[in-house]
Amino acid sequence: MAIPVGGVIKLAINGRINGQQTVTTFYYRVSGGSTLGTVVEDLDAAIDMFVTAAAAPYGAFLAAVPVDWTNEFVSGQEVLPVLSVARKLPLVDVGTRGASTTPNLSAVVTKGTDLGGRSQIGSWHLPGVANGDQVGGIVDNALLGAMSAFGSRSLNVLTDVASGMILEPVLFHRNAANPLASTFTKLTRTIPQDTIRVMRRRTVGVGK
């Protein structure tokens, strides 16, 4: 069975910078079904489209992170209406900006919908900030431009010509108590922030 129209796919860029593991996640609603026939085939097609399509945010992500950041794989997983097994595409891409010596700094792009309320706002923390892209905790214009390009690409609807799958970027609201009651809202805006933030370390999976 394929991922149905109205289903949601989580795509994640899984990398590493200065010894720290990083995960940057994106959620897409399937607004046009594929002709491939299985969840596994749909996820593989979604991952491939996310990495290679000119309109996808992956290339713009690489242009906004430092050379110290290395990708390990991009993963894809159906999260609505059911939770599927994750698929992974191993990669060895690296960031394209200058070197970064502080492992837990990040540049932030805020994302939002047309609705009001705190639940309609989220953010991407782009791992690492190149030494030459910051002055006193303020992001310079060159990196701001790269962040703006990444934000714009992240709002694009992605279409796979071969399978017919159409992916629409959304803000996903997980309901842990009842996953089937999870909801999503279409992403409509992004704003690059001009101040550097600290990436907070999570302790889940430490030591693996």
Q: Give the residue extent of every domain in the chain.
A: 8-198
Distance CA 25, CA 196 (A): 19
Would you state the pLDDT for residue 204? 47
CA proximity to 80, closest of 168, 156, 183: 183
* pLDDT at residue 119 is higher than 90: no
Would you state the pLDDT for residue 208? 44
CA proximity to 129, closest of 149, 150, 152, 99: 99
More confident residue, 78 or 206: 78
**Which pTM was predicted?**
0.93
Which tens digits make up the pLDDT trace of 15-48? 999 888 999 999 999 999 999 989 999 999 999 9
Would you state the pLDDT for residue 20? 86
Would you state the pLDDT for residue 180? 73
Backbone φ/ψ region at 90: left (φ over 0), alpha (ψ -120 to 50), beta: beta
Which tens digits make up the pLDDT trace of 161-197? 999 999 999 999 888 777 777 889 999 999 999 999 9
* Cα angle: 154, vertex 75, 144; to 5 degrees: 30
